[in-house]
Amino acid sequence: METTLIILKPDAVQRGLMGRIISRFEDKGIQVVGARMMKISPELAATHYESHHGKPFYDGLVNFMTSSPVLVLALRGVGAIAICRKMMGATFGSSADAGTIRGDFGVSNSFNLIHGSDSPEAAERELGLFFKSEEILEWDRASEGWVYDLSGDEPE
Ligand code: IDP
Ligand code: MG
């Protein structure tokens, strides 16, 4: 099982898309194990996006991410990091495939609705930035045995 850090960015919250985006993950069988609505501070945005520091879009990105509340989610599933990235689509709304979140809900290259961790290392780091360990909940999902084949050693 993997847990990934997803942020529904200010444009997703302001445009009233939170429910529809969360529904896509729930429909897929991904489990919500943490949720936190917050306004990101400039310091936290800078830490979160430190690998982009110095890039031409960096200042605009930090301004955008701190401009209005976001919904931060911890999502869990087998292969959840790659599955969520695939469901998000390519970075730019203008070129993201139809059927993806960015492809279906936006056209902008800056306001692209959603962040998702891109590796297990990034997920661990980013979950630690936005959640205390007790805010990520281990809970038994009633549908688990129909979402996964649980007859073997690992959910499949
Ligand atoms: P990702 O979110 O798909 O992983 P990254 O390349 O890691 O994309 O970029 C982080 C975020 O920075 C993007 O989601 C987007 O909000 C913003 N960004 C990236 N490249 C550009 C750009 O060329 N113009 C404006 N914003 C950009
Ligand atoms: Mg990235």
pLDDT in tens, 35-74: 999 999 999 999 999 999 999 999 999 999 999 999 999 9
Q: Per the domain annotation, does 79 fall within a domain?
A: yes
Parent domain of 48 = 2-132
Looking at the structure of the chain, the number of domains it has is 1
What is the pLDDT of the chain when averaged over all its residues?
Answer: 98
Q: Per the domain annotation, does 40 fall within a domain?
A: yes
Percent pLDDT > 70 in the chain is 100
* Rounded distance from Cα 117 to ligand 2 centre (Å): 7
Contact 126, 48 (CB under 8 A): yes
Supply the pLDDT for residue 67.
Answer: 98
* Rounded distance from Cα 95 to ligand 2 centre (Å): 16
Q: Per the domain annotation, does 155 fall within a domain?
A: no
Pocket flag, ligand 1, residue 115 (CB < 6 Å): yes
Residues 61 and 39: their CA atoms lie apart, in Å, by 14
Contact 31, 76 (CB under 8 A): yes
Q: Which of 147, 150, 156, 151 is nearest to 26 (CA)?
A: 147
* pTM for this predicted structure: 0.98
Pocket flag, ligand 1, residue 58 (CB < 6 Å): no
Q: Per the domain annotation, does 146 fall within a domain?
A: no
CATH code of the domain in which 123 resides: 3.30.70.141
Sequence-distant (6+) residues with CB within 8 A of 91 are: 102, 109, 112
pLDDT band at residue 114 using 50, 70 and 90 as cut-offs: very high
Q: Compute and round to an integer the Cα radius of gyration of the chain.
A: 16
Q: Per the domain annotation, does 148 fall within a domain?
A: no
Q: Which atom of ligand 1 is the closest one to the Cα of 90?
A: 3
Token pair for residue 18? 């939170």
Q: Per the domain annotation, does 12 fall within a domain?
A: yes
Residues 2 and 120: their CA atoms lie apart, in Å, by 8
Q: Which of 144, 156, 153, 131 is nearest to 4 (CA)?
A: 131
Among all bound ligands, the one having the nearest atom to the CA of 65 is 1
